[in-house]
Amino acid sequence: MIEIYFEQANDAEKLFCLLKERQKKTMNLLFQATYNGDSLVTIYIYDNTDQVILSDLIPAMTKFILRFIEDRLLLSIISGTFYFQDKEEQHQILQLAHSFLDGERYDYRKGKQSSISRETLIANALQHFLKDGLSFSFSSFITFRLKPYMERLQHYVELAIDEYKLEQEYQNFVQMLRDCVSSKKPKLSVIHLVHKPPSFLFFDEKLCEITASELKQMIDRNLIISQPMYIDSSILAPLVSIAPNIIYLYTDDIDDGMIQTIQNVFQERIFLCSQSDFAKYRAIGAKQDR
């Protein structure tokens, strides 16, 4: 028999449900739960051959940890190890940690996802620990037996915090540029901005191209000096310095990073168009000039 003690009754109930799922599939598991007082719950696992532990108990406990305990552990690391106490900050960092854990974001420290999954780390720890006749506290198992798994979680929390801080810096940078644009008198009322990856071409309201040297002369030097973050001198700096009322932005790649930043800074002043639209407008303009 294996005895597992839980400090929270709802944790025991969740594992109990997962054990029932395994029991329906294999008909191998024999178990029961007892309440000791108001909160402490014990789950008893019977008929604990190595095969039953390996094929039924370990998969159920692994799924339980990943599904119900992992977020709790992540939040504990976020608040206890890195001292983020604000609930909204914790939530944002937790969501970023999930994006790294799920492989949606690139692990720039290691270069790739580890070949050993979190599921395997947990299962390995359980396999080395569980045996017939064992009696243990679930919280103690988490604290003392899951070091590689906890190190993995902390690694991704660190990545999430780095990403969160970068995002905060970016949002502050964008807001400063917005304030700068709103405080300026437009040097040109309309700009046509054509995206030719990786560069951009500037045209005035008559669709005449503005040269790089002309753009350079329009740049507000105080803008370059006052910004704590790097501001692109060929695109953002002249665009913010001109502060046009309307920007027609021609692109076929709306997910491009600079496109996103321009949209974030100029917001309602931006009108998105396709690159083919610019060729049509220039052709129309050429006919009208004849």
HEC string of 50-112 equals HHHHHHHHHHHHHHHHHHHHHHHHHHHHHHHHCCCCCHHHHHHHHHHHHHHHCCCCCCCCCCC
Query: Do residues 103 and 192 both lie within one domain?
Result: no
Confidence of residue 227 (pLDDT cuts 50, 70, 90): low
What 3-state class would DSSP assign to 115?
coil
Query: Do residues 134 and 247 both lie within one domain?
Result: no
pLDDT for 100 beyond 70 = yes
pLDDT of residue 281: 82
224 within some domain: yes
Query: Do residues 146 and 271 both lie within one domain?
Result: no
The residue-averaged pLDDT of 283-290 equals 61
Query: Do residues 224 and 133 both lie within one domain?
Result: no
Residue 197 domain boundaries: 185-287
Query: Do residues 15 and 101 both lie within one domain?
Result: yes
Given a contact cutoff of 8 angstroms between Cβ atoms, the answer to whether 138 and 3 are in contact is no
Query: Do residues 83 and 167 both lie within one domain?
Result: yes
Predicted TM-score of the model (pTM):
0.81
Query: Do residues 136 and 245 both lie within one domain?
Result: no
Residue that finishes a domain, picked among 175, 210, 231: 175
Query: Do residues 24 and 165 both lie within one domain?
Result: yes
The residue-averaged pLDDT of 137-155 equals 96
Residue 122 or residue 111, greater confidence: 122
Query: Do residues 76 and 163 both lie within one domain?
Result: yes
